[in-house]
Amino acid sequence: MALIDQLIEALRVLPGVGPKSAQRMAYHVLERERVGGKRLADVLAQAVEQIRHCARCRDFSETEVCAICASASRDAHLLCAVDRPPIVWRSNRRRAIAACISSCRAA
């Protein structure tokens, strides 16, 4: 299989990316964004190798236990475990944890 076809096929692992979208992305990277494409490839390879789930809360983390769970100021009696971190999780994690705890307490 030609390298460009392998690239298009590889891009299809992303959710919502069909054959036409994958082809458009591949052409865009090759025609206009080679530096960005190289950076994407490098960061993606590192992320897939190095990011795992926190052993306590299951959020994504580069260490066995994430920074929030490892924080000395964190209340060790409270745990907000997630099955799969939602997309909005990263941008406002502390507020999401507070909401989760409130809802658990109300139940």
Footprint on this chain of Zn ion (rule: CB under 5 A): 54, 56-57, 66, 69
User: Of 40 and 70, which CB lies nearer to Zn ion in the complex structure?
Assistant: 70
User: Of 7 and 59, which CB lies nearer to Zn ion in the complex structure?
Assistant: 59
> Smallest distance, Å, CB 4 to Zn ion?
40
Per-residue burial over 19-55, b if 16 or more Cβ lie within 10 Å, else e, is eeebbebbeebeeeeeeebeeeeeeeeeeeeeeeebe
DSSP 54: -
Q: Residue length, the chain?
A: 107
> Smallest distance, Å, CB 86 to Zn ion?
15
User: Of 42 and 64, which CB lies nearer to Zn ion in the complex structure?
Assistant: 64
